[in-house]
Amino acid sequence: MLLCVVNGVPLDGVYKINTDAAINECYKVIGVGVIIRNYRGEVYASFTQRILACFSPPVAEATAILRGLRFAIDSGLLPVVLESDAKWVVDLINSDDSNNADIAHSLSKMAVKSVENFFWMEAFPPCISSVILEDCLP
């Protein structure tokens, strides 16, 4: 289980990942920054990454979180808590919204039937449009 927090100090034996993203729309570049510390604030690992892409801010922040988690796993720095200033993304990760699980399940079923990989940026396949639209209704 991943705990996403906005502010806080992790418990002894737990690492805290801080992530952030910056966007340069002119050059279509995303900058990702990640730092991993222990409960005393000592730095165990950090990195920056330049990604040639033009993402919306929530997608850029989610990408930074994903890269931070992958970095922690690859570095063996587990267990972790995550700290991000991207409240919308953190709330989505912490959500118990079953619609998100339904959407992901629909996509995974589509992947099993496919012979190639598909990627959508700020879009989605038609097969999940009804679930997406239902999720947007008040």
pLDDT tens per residue across span 21-64: 999 999 999 999 999 999 888 999 999 999 998 888 888 888 89
Q: What percent of the chain has pLDDT over 70?
A: 83
Give the pairing of strands 80-84 and 3-5: parallel
d(CA 96, CA 41): 30
| pLDDT value of residue 1 | 43
CA separation for the pair 128, 126 (Å, rounded): 5
Low-confidence winner among 56-70, 74-88, 94-108 (lowest mean pLDDT): 94-108
Neighbours of 94 (CB within 10 A): 13
Neighbours of 50 (CB within 10 A): 12
- For residue 136 the two structure tokens come to 């947007």
Helix axes 129-136 and 98-113, enclosed angle (nearest 10): 170
The DSSP line for 29-89 is: EEEEEEEEE-TT--EEEEEEEEEE----HHHHHHHHHHHHHHHHHHHT--SEEEEES-HHH
> Would you place residue 116 in the very low, low, confident or very high pLDDT band (cuts 50, 70, 90)?
confident
Whether pTM exceeds 0.85: no
Q: Say which CATH topology domain 3-94 has.
A: Nucleotidyltransferase; domain 5 (3.30.420)
> Can you give the residue ranges of every domain in the chain?
3-94, 98-136
Q: How confident is the model at residue 99 (pLDDT cuts 50, 70, 90)?
A: low
